[in-house]
Every structure is written in structure tokens, then in C-alpha cells.
Amino acid sequence: MKIIEERIAAQLPLWRERVNHLRGKSGDFKVCDVTVSQIYSGIRGVQIQVSDISYVDPKEGIRIRGFTIDELMQELPKARDTKNPMAGGLYFLLLTGDLPSQAEAMAVEEEWQHRCLIPTYVFNSIRRMPPDTHPMTLLSMGIMALQRESVFARKYAEGANKQDHWRFYLEDAMNLTAKLPGLAAFIYNLRYQDGIYIPPNPDLDWGANFGYMIDRLKDPDYYDLCRLFFFLHSDHEGANVSAHTSHLVSSALSDVYLSCSAGINGLAGPLHGLANQECLKWLLDIRDQFNGYPTQPQLEQYLRSLLANGEMIPGYGHAVLRITDPRFTAQLNFAHENIKDDPLIDLVEMVYNTLPPLLMEKGKVNNPWPNVDAINGALQYHYGVTQFDFYTVLFGISRILGITAHIVWARALLKPIERPKSLTTDMLEAMVTQNEKANGVN
């Protein structure tokens, strides 16, 4: 897309020089040491990635291109009659680092509309799968099937100059992201709505269109929730499982489709993308156990007994954040403004008002506040998207916005293939023994 391509191209000389300068002058500077226990525990906390696209600030939550969620809720362009940002403007920001004007956000939306058609063979390949195939498998397959369309793969085979690889990645990224709402809606309708087909509405933006294509009731409030959800889940730094997987795969110059499908496969894992459905299940279990909904004192007693049994409360705590996740707050505000009389949403809020002091009393929980998953599922459930299996697909189509921004920039900055090193247990033990001898330890 021309205006994004020009905006990136204009910044590139400076960025490349900045990185080259850092590498040339301070290439030997140590960012951190790695311990044996970090090697055995998922290289947790080891800083292995630079991302100028987003950063999780413990005290303020995710910052996208330096802006907090609250700032972006104010600043990003909106579709008519809504308070929630359009994905087109968000994508412009993710890719260029610049806050878009209304016209620039609309230009991305229009570009997506031109590119949104999905080839029939993609739908056919999904249709052929057994009906109980997981929707995340279908999403990953759909993205893989689209790989045939990769502009980068074709240009690379024709001998494209390395300096220009990012331009073809950008082209692929625009094409893939344009097709995601239609692809996800197709999967939803095939799995849960007898395969109905609702074509996209040219008067709606990217996020709202997904809601439109799955929603038989045509509820504009749900379209607005889609806008909010896709905005809030678009990125979360560069080293989480899905972003890092896509980055790793793309470092082999695998194209955007191959890289994103790989990232989606990581997101499909229960330790990454499934927490929102766990949390909703937990809320519904409370409802079932009380044959309705508990009063506040009943809930407090119940939560105390869970904690006394050492149970984990889904939707609470975070490895990095030390505040209520602003993405939770944004969705709670949405609920206050748009939803009346839903006892499940009231339960979400009652847990929010009751649980944090109890977690604090335990003394060991580093963050007693809710993360985004404490409310995600309950909101989808309210609007009739009750199929838990599908929630990670929603997460996935949003997250590909961030992932593609990361990998376009990785190519733009000419990042080489990733190749860390492994060693054997023997080697590790020998290193430890040698160190102990050197320090006089018996």
C-alpha cells in the first residue's frame, strides 16, 4: 500500500543507521546473563528481542508505538457513531509509528476492502475437513492455503533485492489482513451456523465487518465490541510465543503466510491463547454451583475457600503487569455503556470488587489485579458468541495485525536468520564444575 510503504521508506535510512551504529559501537555490550534455571524454564525474562512496535509497561499496561490504551482510545480515528478505534488507523500506527489522520485510517480500510476477496479453493480446503476440526486448525489452514498468493515468494524466486524484501512482505501483510475477517467469519458460520454465507458490508470497517458477517441479529453494539476487541488484542511485545514464532519463521525468509500460520499454531496452545475461555468457564461454573448467581458475601466466602485450597483464579495475575490491565478496564467501560441487566457481566464486576484484596492477603501474589481475560469471554457470551472454541480465533485475527507489523519491520531492518545455540547436559555440568573449581568450591 503506497502511503504506508512511503512512510516506512522515509524512516528506514535513519532506523538502519541507528541499528548499525548501535551494533558497530556497542555490539559487545551485555544486556543480560542467562542462568541455568532460565535455560530450563523457557528462557523466562531473558531479553532476546527488540520491538519498537509495542512494550508492556508494568505500571501502565501495553504501550503501542509509545501510546497507552487510554491515549489510543482518544487519539485513533473512529468510524461514525462509535467511540472505538478503527482497525485501519491502528494498523497504520503499528506499521508506521505515526498516529494516522481520519483520511489515512480510511485509506487503509478502503485498501482492505479492495483486497478482501478470498479464493474459492481456500474455502473448499476448509470445507473438506471433518466437522469437529478445531477452528484454530481451520484458521491456520486457511492462512496456509492463501500462501499460494504470496507476492514475496514470487518476487524472491525472481531474484528480488534483499533491500526490498520488506516491500513485498508489506504487500502480503495487506493482502492477508484484508482477508482475515472474511476467513474467520467463514469458519464461524461453517462450524456453528450451518454454513450460511453473509457477504461483507462495504459500508462497514474491518472490525465491524467481522461482526456483521457472523451476526444474524445484526446488532451494531456487537460490531462495536469487535472493533474494541481487535484493537485491544493486536499486539503484546515481540517475545511472546506467537509473535516470537512468527518472527523466527520469517527470519528464514518464509513469507508472511507461512510465518503467521506458525504464530497462530503457537497461539492455539492452552498456555497461550486459551486463557479467556478458561475464565468464562470458571464464571459459568460459579453460576452453576449457586444455581444462579451468588450474593457478594456468598461470593467472598466461595473465593476464600478456593484460595485456601490453593486454586488458581483465571483472569487474575500477570507475569509483567502490576495494575488492573487497561484492556480489562476498557471492556468494563464498554459493558457499563452498552449492557444492562446481564448477571454474568455483574458477576465479572463483583469478582473484580471482591478478589484483589483476598489475593493480596495471601501475600505472595505479585499482581492481584484482573488481566484482559477476566472479561473477554463474558462479553462475547453476552452477544451470543457462546462457542468457547472460537475465542482464540478472535484473538488470532487481531494479533496478526501486530505480528505482521513486527515481521515487515524485521525485513526492513534486514534482520538475519535467528540461530541461537543449544548445548548438552554434560557440557552444562562441566561448565558448572569448572566454575566451582575456579571459585574454590568443593
Ligand X SMILES: CC(C)(COP(=O)(O)OP(=O)(O)OC[C@H]1O[C@@H](n2cnc3c(N)ncnc32)[C@H](O)[C@@H]1OP(=O)(O)O)[C@@H](O)C(=O)NCCC(=O)NCCS
Choice from 319, 360, 430, 431 touching ligand X (CB under 6 A): 319
Q: Which is nearer to ligand X, 19 or 56 (CB)?
A: 56
For residues 298-317, which are near ligand X according to CB under 6 A? 312-317
User: How many angstroms separate the CA atoms of 250 and 212, rounded?
Assistant: 33
> Strands (DSSP E) along 353-392, which ranges?
none
Q: Assign 48 to helix, strand or coil.
A: coil
Min CB(124)–ligand X separation in Å: 36
Residue 237 binding ligand X, by CB under 6 A: no
Min CB(181)–ligand X separation in Å: 24
Min CB(360)–ligand X separation in Å: 11
Q: Which is nearer to ligand X, 136 or 279 (CB)?
A: 279
244 as an active site residue: the answer is no
255 as an active site residue: the answer is no
CA 383 vs CA 213, 217, 370, 380, 393: distances in Å: 14, 10, 22, 5, 16
Give the chain's radius of gyration (CA, Å): 23
For residues 253-282, which are near ligand X according to CB under 6 A? 275
Q: Which is nearer to ligand X, 145 or 228 (CB)?
A: 228
Choice from 244, 247, 318, 411 touching ligand X (CB under 6 A): 318
Q: Are 234 and 93 in contact (CB under 8 A)?
A: no
User: How many angstroms separate the CA atoms of 285 and 290, rounded?
Assistant: 9
User: How many angstroms separate the CA atoms of 49 and 257, rounded?
Assistant: 22
User: How many angstroms separate the CA atoms of 434 and 439, rounded?
Assistant: 9
Q: Which is nearer to ligand X, 213 or 359 (CB)?
A: 359
Min CB(333)–ligand X separation in Å: 19
For residue 99, what is the DSSP state? P
373 as an active site residue: the answer is yes
Min CB(277)–ligand X separation in Å: 11
Q: Are 151 and 171 in contact (CB under 8 A)?
A: yes
Amino acid identity for residue 429 in this structure: E
Q: Which is nearer to ligand X, 294 or 314 (CB)?
A: 314
Q: Which of 215, 224, 255, 373 is catalytic?
A: 373
Q: Which is nearer to ligand X, 181 or 314 (CB)?
A: 314
Q: Are 316 and 282 in contact (CB under 8 A)?
A: no
Min CB(196)–ligand X separation in Å: 33
User: How many angstroms separate the CA atoms of 321 and 56, rounded?
Assistant: 7
Q: Which is nearer to ligand X, 178 or 375 (CB)?
A: 375
For residues 353-412, which are near ligand X according to CB under 6 A? 364-367, 371, 373
Min CB(362)–ligand X separation in Å: 7
Give the binding-site size for ligand X (rule: CB under 6 A): 15
Of 193, 198, 231, the residue nearest 68 (C-alpha): 231
CA 157 vs CA 165, 259, 341: distances in Å: 12, 18, 58
Q: Are 328 and 370 in contact (CB under 8 A)?
A: yes
Q: Which of 272, 342, 346, 389 is catalytic?
A: 272
Q: Are 127 and 135 in contact (CB under 8 A)?
A: no
Q: Which residues bind ligand X (CB under 6 A)?
A: 275, 312-319, 364-367, 371, 373
Active-site amino acid positions: 272, 318, 373
